[in-house]
Amino acid sequence: MAGLAGCSGGGGGGDGGNELELLHAWSSGDGNAAIEALIEGFQEEHPDVEFAEEPVNGAARSNLDQVVLNKLQANDPPSTFQTWPGKTLEKFDGAFEDIEGDVWDEDLKENYLAGPQEQAQYDGSYVTVPLNIHRINNLFYNTAVVEAAGVDPESLSSASDVVDACATIDAETDAVPFAHQTSGAWSTGQLWETILLGQAGIDGYEAFINGNGDREQVESALDAVVDLTEYYPGDSSSISFTEANTMVMDGDAAFIHQGDWAAGAYGNEDGFNYGEDWAQVPYPGTGGNYLLNMDSFPYMANNPSPEATQQFLSYCGSAEGQVLFNEKKGSIPPRSDADVSSLNNFQQDQFEEFNAADNQPPSVQHGLAISPDIATNIGNAFSGFLESNDAAETAEALINAFN
């Protein structure tokens, strides 16, 4: 089927019907359940719209981007596809169309908070609709382990407090203090940006993502990461995020810093309950901030199904669609008026914190805050950091990533 589509692609799609071509990388797990729920909800309202839904398999997003770029080069854009909003959109420069008024009406503008609303824009025009929000600055912990060590995570107020707490846990229990993986660089990248946000504050963080970062602040956050390496699992370089997260669930580790997708696994584990067996605090020092990672669906220029795409994006921007999606995905709806009573307790708490947050800064590691080529430079810096643990050298590379 895909082969056939490829052969006739040059023809330009023909009848321009109402078939909506939707590309995404949620081919399995909770992501797949979430997109299915969203599409099902949409089709109940719009039974006339046909879907040519194509999950693009492979290493999450990078492969999907490649497929979309190839289609755009061939002048055969999809109706919409799963993408991070914000600066990531630069990769597809010129491929989007302004949907202010049509999709981004007054209702959406009223109900999206400033942070997500800013990320939906490219060059000042609204081009994409954020569908969900994952928080990056979480510290999850296994309640039994921290209690056994006499540590109260609620009382920690800075990154160095976390290091001290790890030392106590190391001394008092057999558990690994800080579950973390270092075979890939992304976990360390997001840990560093979280610590930077805590130490340098929102101003320092925003200065960095705008290319005016303070070298000392950058290096000091890296030093805090180096301090934590001592408390990683001994085999952190051979494990994946899933294995690190399982250590927390099994009581073999106390803390893990992760986006709130980590909590998705906790919810599926019997006898591991929110508030009793595990809990979460904003990473110490970052209270009042909701560090954003989002997925969104943009409106493509030269759209093969203009009307259907607008209908679908409006549905993605509706509270109903977002709740259906996030119920399964484990993230929270970006709309502050969403009725979250059908989400789980943890999601409800996160939603409350989101609405009360002073700032909703975009994530560096997850492509919202910086353009793709800078993101590659930062990724290079962290893949080097994993080898050397050299804070000074990495700080230099991070500052130079913008030049």
Closest approach of another protein to the CB of residue 93, in Å: 6
- β-strands 80-81, 19-24 pairing: parallel
Closest approach of another protein to the CB of residue 98, in Å: 17
Among 8, 237, 268, 345, contact with another protein (rule: CB under 8 A): 237
Q: Which residue's CB is nearer to another protein, number 71 or number 257?
A: 71
Could you tell me how far CA 179 lies from the centroid of its own chain?
19
Work out whether 120 is an interface residue with another protein (CB under 8 A): no
State how far the alpha carbon of 150 is from the alpha carbons of 254, 371, 402, in Å.
12, 43, 43
Q: Are 46 and 307 in contact (CB under 8 A)?
A: no
Q: Which residue's CB is nearer to another protein, number 147 or number 387?
A: 387
Q: Which residue's CB is nearer to another protein, number 286 or number 365?
A: 365
One-letter amino acid identity for 259? Answer: G
Residues 6+ positions from 100 with CB-CB distance below 8 Å = 125, 126
Q: Which residue's CB is nearer to another protein, number 187 or number 359?
A: 187
Closest approach of another protein to the CB of residue 237, in Å: 4
Strand intervals (E) in 213-329 = 253-258, 278-282, 292-298
Among 83, 182, 314, 322, contact with another protein (rule: CB under 8 A): 182
- Angle, CA of 149, 285 and 340, to the nearest 5°: 90
Among 234, 341, 356, 358, contact with another protein (rule: CB under 8 A): 234
Query: In angstroms, rounded to a whole number, what is the distance separating the alpha carbons of residues 168 and 153?
Result: 12
Work out whether 28 is an interface residue with another protein (CB under 8 A): no
Work out whether 91 is an interface residue with another protein (CB under 8 A): yes
Work out whether 386 is an interface residue with another protein (CB under 8 A): yes
Closest approach of another protein to the CB of residue 229, in Å: 10
One-letter amino acid identity for 14? Answer: G
Largest separation between any pair of C-alpha atoms in the chain: 70
Query: In angstroms, rounded to a whole number, what is the distance separating the alpha carbons of residues 20 and 307?
Result: 9
100-115 b/e (C-beta count within 10 Å ≥ 16 → b): eeebbeeebeebbbeb
Work out whether 402 is an interface residue with another protein (CB under 8 A): yes
Q: Which stretch binds another protein (CB under 8 A): 86-94, 105-113, 120-128, 212-220?
A: 86-94
Binding letters toward another protein, positions 344-383, x by CB under 8 A = ----------------------------xxxxxx-xx-xx
Q: Which residue's CB is nearer to another protein, number 40 or number 235?
A: 235
Work out whether 97 is an interface residue with another protein (CB under 8 A): no
Could you tell me how far CA 310 lies from the centroid of its own chain?
24
Work out whether 65 is an interface residue with another protein (CB under 8 A): yes
Which residue matches tokens 């920690």? 156
Length of the chain: 403
Q: Which residue's CB is nearer to another protein, number 316 or number 369?
A: 369
Applying CB under 8 A, the site for another protein has a residue count of 41
Among 28, 66, 302, 342, contact with another protein (rule: CB under 8 A): 66
Work out whether 40 is an interface residue with another protein (CB under 8 A): no
Q: Are 24 and 56 in contact (CB under 8 A)?
A: yes
Query: In angstroms, rounded to a whole number, what is the distance separating the alpha carbons of residues 397 and 393?
Result: 6
Residues 6+ positions from 280 with CB-CB distance below 8 Å = 138, 139, 140, 141, 260, 263, 346
Closest approach of another protein to the CB of residue 143, in Å: 25
Binding site for another protein (CB under 8 A): 59, 62, 65-66, 69, 72-73, 91-95, 182-186, 233-235, 237-240, 372-377, 379-380, 382-384, 386-388, 400, 402-403
